[in-house]
Structure 1
């Protein structure tokens, strides 16, 4: 073997010899290029002897994944998606979300498996995306919306806000369930495609984990716990890692057992984690829709008419305890009319507890089943305070717990309600003071009557009378109780009294006629209490009715109006200023008052007696004037809302990127600074073109070996690949740098190779190559 020192002198300069077409060693004897070392020739110079190099040790080919492992991985992926979807069980009832999640977790996995399994090679990603979107649209339209495909897009767009403005558990309506169904489908489809297209172990579980994060966010404040779901995700992710691993099959049972143990550890260790602080609730950042007009006629305006025909049957109720059936709460007064300022939102079957009560209060469970007969309007009767409602779609005011329906009640409608009737303690009542939160302060206002221009002289008169009545009472509760005692003792119940509750009518009732119905007693009490700074509202409802043994018939003559006063830590406490014996129905078997009313009145008497025994103060506390109402500060929109809004832009940005970036990359390569760099860019462009027809992206082939692959794969390309490979090797190893003409020749060959490769494929395959994600990354 000769050495460089023994090499013969170089011949005279001249053009390089043409390659011999019969020489089949062109690939093996080619000089080293971008894809591996090897001997070769130098441009415009003599051939140099090749130095011996050790053979390249190729990495062993990965073992093919067995059909059993692949099938098990797909099953675990479907289970992960189902577990993530069940994370919405704090938002929806399990009976509503369960079937939807099961279908959304299984169908996309089966679809991906059926498409890819016969070929054991996945279709192009963009085709899989189209199949997944088409399958989701078909299943969603048929299963959720019963063939109404036109509403799918709008429902999916608005579902997140509808969920955030609905009390949990939300009703199982298609326009709400479409969001968790779509997210679960996304997790299952993405996980299945990852299993079929890659060898990663844990990555197929990430979409399910992300969907579970969304479920946690939307379920803040909902009933139940997602700890078992989180533990199931941990265990299933560990099982997926075991199934996707390259270990022996005999070790798989031990790995699965360890994964199950890990899930159990997560179940028991979760409650012990030091989690502090209140979780972020996205509902605080979402503006609820404006309250709808609940009824064209206020129930308060119907009282007088109902009392004129007292035997009209309103509804029948089967109950475990007779109560006063609350119908409507009216908390706004403009001097003429009482109206409801409740923010009614859609609800499922659960009604949350009031937020302003500082701690849990003892209560008695009351079960009721109502049958509507002739009750008009949209207001739904129930005992205070309802906790669950079944059999009737309702909207709820979370502050008061009042129930309404979207459509007016119909004869024969039935529904069941479970309520928690409050139990009151005399000691707490005696020391209670009026609340001073923004809601309570709004319930102390007494505006001027509409149309007046001067200060209303009637309001100071009400305040003066209320001060005289409550003189000597030391606490807010005692002043409120004294007002009720005064009205019961000095005024008389009379169904023939003049109806109405304006300032003028109430002044006439208090100072001259002293006769009226519960409408006048309750509204006069509310005005007097508000003049003292006591937050007060008016409630319209019915007495228990006629009957016994758990069944009561409620008639129009059982209508009753009473006021409620808000106290710190106690919430809204009812008072009954209407004389009871004259206000009840005259039918035999009528119940004059509900159990809660009787207990409350006894507690009020005990509280008053306790105060007298302690020698209460003779100086009444001056009511705190309500401060000016401040505008609620605007809350910043959370980042995840912007992310959801930007999600539809992702496909557009991807399309722009996958079309524009390759053009910019090609232009940069073709306009490089030196001819050698332009030739190298032409070769990089050619290699990317051959990658699309099967050339591995990670390879140690020489330039001529790459040319041989291209010639065998695409007809007609070898006549351009061989000269291009020579130009690449000369540019890399020749003593002289190439000239611009060589760079132009290299790019002419590259352009011809690109055209030949494109012609060899169908239009659909060419589009798939153009949109493939590999176009985003340079070689």
Structure 2
């Protein structure tokens, strides 16, 4: 209920100028003569009691004798003195300056912490310096531009200056003076970041995206501090940048929970600093903000979150498949075997493994090529699909030094997880690494891989995968120019069916094909090279001699003809040496096929027999225990049903796929949604009681006219005094309210009495008040609010803030 202002003497007075309120058809109320009791109060020494708080009280303007009417009465008090004659008290200016410095520092800290949210996109060593520079520089720039004269520039001029400042800073720090590439890098940074595996390499063309976002958060927060009185608004740009960091970092390593807790704590600190009160209360507010951040750290892990967050990388088209080298590694095998002692690279490793070089999964009847979609990567390589949810395999550390290995293919053990010392692109599906440039002698890098652990029983029951990728890996197109009379694929299919007849599982079929090739043909480096249909037919039916190139590609064609998804891998054996140090030569080149099984992924097979006397002549060590166990499981599976193989005439029962246990689906009961809704009600209520009073105060302070702002200041004061017992349903005059406040809260009288005068003048005076009067009214209101807050105590203020009456304006 609005408190009516005091009424003057019954004798009405006509103002000299018409009241604007008469435009609405209502008569202007009579003006209020000055009350002698409301004159400025002085003590016995003649000093103003308001000086106790270090702030000069707003003076009460005496009546002007020249402005009396015929009855000798003064219808309107004289206007307040001009603004330039009112000098603020030194202490108030000092407090405001310190609070402003704290607020700007908080904005810079918020932007820097929000920038650290990109640590799931870039490693902390790359994003950390960028976040600090991009957060501090714009805040310092805004402060330097606006602080000397304590007034802000026009908004358009601030935008121009900050854009120029950003271009200068990013050009000098990230691009080292190359200003010409800033625009193109910024334009392409979004797609480049989304098509790069996380953590992305710390290249300038990628770091420019978080740099500009953090800079935006810093400058927007600083301008909000300098241009507005809102408490939490300067923190919103940093929160928005943190949201972008969360979106781009989906699937990245680490957690952003500490960053979120830091943002909560810094936001709480900023609200405390921006709120009314003495600077001495800021340390206590910071302690409270730290407590809030600590609560956020412990509460974060128990909050309900979505099981599978949205990943924007799924909606961005990856680069198309491309030939990474002009010469396929498969085409180099025959030449390498002709000069077997050429040194390719050395490797220091914790376990000898076959070093993978390239994976070829497309065959057109003539050539094997790769359909991989290589994307840039930092030092982390994503986990294989088959490994998700499974126990980790054996860690294999490797340190490679290139000697004479040509091309861009980077050797590593399967499956690589991290790589340092070399910038690479990677195929996320198979983990194959390629260098952006040709490998050069002396180049060194380190790789950490995870060697798979195979279970013999699980392998024996494995069936081929049937997803889209697996279906593509069974394609066998006829060569161009092939007709029905000279078609070769049916001949391969007929042979494969004879070899795999009687095998009950897909794994046994694959093992039978490998065993057949090991026993039906011999390894011979002088054998005819080539791997098209004609070469493979000649190898299988005539010479039956070849290198691992012919054995692996013949296996892949035979396996595909019976529905086994197969691809070809080119790599090297472990090499010569021991004690963790191996020399890999060109004669150690090896080609092997891999078959895709449901739930297991790609499993390697080794159909190439050992060259006679090779172990004694080459000195190459065998692969590690993992590969030896795999080969033993394959040979065991191939020997189980040999009696039912080709020519036996016995037809085994059709294979039965293993039963898949599907978890029962239970619909979510209604009471779960009811509990969730009930849990949201307190959250919505808390947000409402915290935000609505802030919005209401802002609306009152930014009224359309000075009179509206003065009325809003009085409403805010009345609402504040309710916290110390002012009745809400009693009609009191302005001076009665001022008297209640002066009796209840010490030190408020020098502010309440002048504020009541301003309200009466704004309501009843003939001339409308000016902006200076509105500003003085709100200064009084701010001082009254500080004094009432100290008198009410924290618990009483919190209880009143959370009371439902805070949802509506109290009059």
Work out whether the TM-score is over 0.5: yes
Q: Is 1:422 aligned with 2:452? A: yes
Q: Determine the C-alpha separation between the residues in 1 that align with 2:70 and 2:317.
A: 79
Q: 1:474 to 1:367 in 2, by over 3 A?
A: same
- Give the 3-state SS of the residue equivalent to 2:296 in structure 1: helix
Q: Determine the C-alpha separation between the residues in 1 that align with 2:770 and 2:224.
A: 32
- Aligned with 1:545 (options 575, 578, 581): 575
What's 1:285 paired with? 315
CA RMSD of aligned residues (A): 3.6
Q: Is 1:33 aligned with 2:20? A: yes
Q: Determine the C-alpha separation between the residues in 2 that align with 1:483 and 1:477.
A: 10
- Aligned with 1:329 (options 346, 352, 359): 359
Kindly report which structure 2 residues correspond to 1:186-585, keeping only aligned pairs within 5 A, or say none: 186-355=216-385, 357=387, 359-454=389-484, 457-582=487-612, 584=614
Kindly report which structure 2 residues correspond to 1:99-178, keeping only aligned pairs within 5 A, or say none: 99-178=129-208
Deviations 1:717-745 (A, max 9, x none): xxxxxxxxxxxxxxxxxxxxxxxxxxxxx
TM-superposed deviation, 1:586: 5.6
The answer to whether the 8 A contact 1:557-1:585 is kept is no
Q: 1:587 to 1:550 in 2, by over 3 A?
A: farther
Q: Determine the C-alpha separation between the residues in 2 that align with 1:145 and 1:78.
A: 23
TM-superposed deviation, 1:206: 0.1
Q: Determine the C-alpha separation between the residues in 1 that align with 2:395 and 2:436.
A: 27
Deviations 1:368-407 (A, max 9, x none): 1111111111100000010001100100011110000121
TM-superposed deviation, 1:580: 2.8
- Aligned with 1:619 (options 652, 668, 689): 652
- Give the 3-state SS of the residue equivalent to 1:418 in structure 2: strand
TM-superposed deviation, 1:357: 4.9
The answer to whether the 8 A contact 1:88-1:215 is kept is yes
Deviations 1:622-655 (A, max 9, x none): 899xxxxxxxxxxxxxxxxxxxxxxxxxxxxxxx
TM-superposed deviation, 1:35: 12
TM-superposed deviation, 1:361: 4.2
TM-superposed deviation, 1:290: 2.0
Q: Determine the C-alpha separation between the residues in 2 that align with 1:165 and 1:158.
A: 11
TM-superposed deviation, 1:67: 1.6
Q: Determine the C-alpha separation between the residues in 2 that align with 1:481 and 1:222.
A: 38
Deviations 1:421-474 (A, max 9, x none): 111010110110000110011000000112335476211111111111111111
TM-superposed deviation, 1:314: 0.6
Q: 1:163 to 1:185 in 2, by over 3 A?
A: same
Kindly report which structure 2 residues correspond to 1:681-692, keeping only aligned pairs within 5 A, or say none: none
Q: Determine the C-alpha separation between the residues in 2 that align with 1:245 and 1:372.
A: 63
Q: 1:130 to 1:517 in 2, by over 3 A?
A: same
Deviations 1:75-124 (A, max 9, x none): 11111001110111100111111111110011111111111111111122
The answer to whether the 8 A contact 1:31-1:39 is kept is no
- Give the 3-state SS of the residue equivalent to 1:580 in structure 2: coil
The answer to whether the 8 A contact 1:159-1:179 is kept is yes
Q: Determine the C-alpha separation between the residues in 1 that align with 2:19 and 2:73.
A: 11
TM-superposed deviation, 1:612: 8.8
Q: 1:599 to 1:3 in 2, by over 3 A?
A: closer
Q: Determine the C-alpha separation between the residues in 2 that align with 1:122 and 1:391.
A: 49
TM-superposed deviation, 1:360: 1.9
Deviations 1:197-220 (A, max 9, x none): 211110000000000001111111
Q: Determine the C-alpha separation between the residues in 2 that align with 1:297 and 1:143.
A: 40
Q: Determine the C-alpha separation between the residues in 1 that align with 2:22 and 2:381.
A: 69
The answer to whether the 8 A contact 1:536-1:563 is kept is yes
The answer to whether the 8 A contact 2:644-2:651 is kept is no
What's 2:729 paired with? none
- Give the 3-state SS of the residue equivalent to 2:385 in structure 1: coil
After the TM superposition, which of the residue ranges 587-596 and 73-82 deviates more from structure 2? 587-596
Q: 1:35 to 1:604 in 2, by over 3 A?
A: farther
Aligned length: 610
Q: Determine the C-alpha separation between the residues in 1 that align with 2:207 and 2:566.
A: 39
TM-superposed deviation, 1:182: 0.4
What's 1:91 paired with? 121
The answer to whether the 8 A contact 1:518-1:583 is kept is no
After the TM superposition, which of the residue ranges 116-125 and 85-94 deviates more from structure 2? 116-125
Q: 1:5 to 1:415 in 2, by over 3 A?
A: closer
TM-superposed deviation, 1:477: 0.5
Q: 1:329 to 1:707 in 2, by over 3 A?
A: closer
After the TM superposition, which of the residue ranges 144-153 and 602-611 deviates more from structure 2? 602-611
After the TM superposition, which of the residue ranges 225-234 and 49-58 deviates more from structure 2? 49-58
- Give the 3-state SS of the residue equivalent to 1:500 in structure 2: coil
Deviations 1:322-369 (A, max 9, x none): 110000000000000000000000000000012355532441100111
Q: Determine the C-alpha separation between the residues in 2 that align with 1:559 and 1:481.
A: 22
Q: Determine the C-alpha separation between the residues in 1 that align with 2:527 and 2:488.
A: 21
Q: Determine the C-alpha separation between the residues in 2 that align with 1:384 and 1:72.
A: 53
TM-superposed deviation, 1:128: 1.4
TM-superposed deviation, 1:289: 2.1
Q: Determine the C-alpha separation between the residues in 2 that align with 1:487 and 1:515.
A: 10
TM-superposed deviation, 1:488: 0.7
Q: 1:179 to 1:542 in 2, by over 3 A?
A: same
Q: 1:395 to 1:5 in 2, by over 3 A?
A: closer
Runs of 5+ consecutive residues of structure 1 not aligned to the other structure: 8-27, 41-46, 625-698, 710-779
Runs of 5+ consecutive residues of structure 2 not aligned to the other structure: 1-7, 32-68, 81-85, 658-760, 773-811
Q: 1:707 to 1:328 in 2, by over 3 A?
A: closer
Q: Determine the C-alpha separation between the residues in 1 that align with 2:444 and 2:297.
A: 41
Kindly report which structure 2 residues correspond to 1:617-766, keeping only aligned pairs within 5 A, or say none: 618-619=651-652, 621=654
Q: Determine the C-alpha separation between the residues in 2 that align with 1:260 and 1:189.
A: 25
Moved over 6 A (4+): 1-7, 34-40, 47-58, 60-63, 609-615, 701-709
- Give the 3-state SS of the residue equivalent to 2:382 in structure 1: coil
- Aligned with 2:210 (options 169, 175, 180): 180
The answer to whether the 8 A contact 2:99-2:279 is kept is no
TM-superposed deviation, 1:221: 0.9
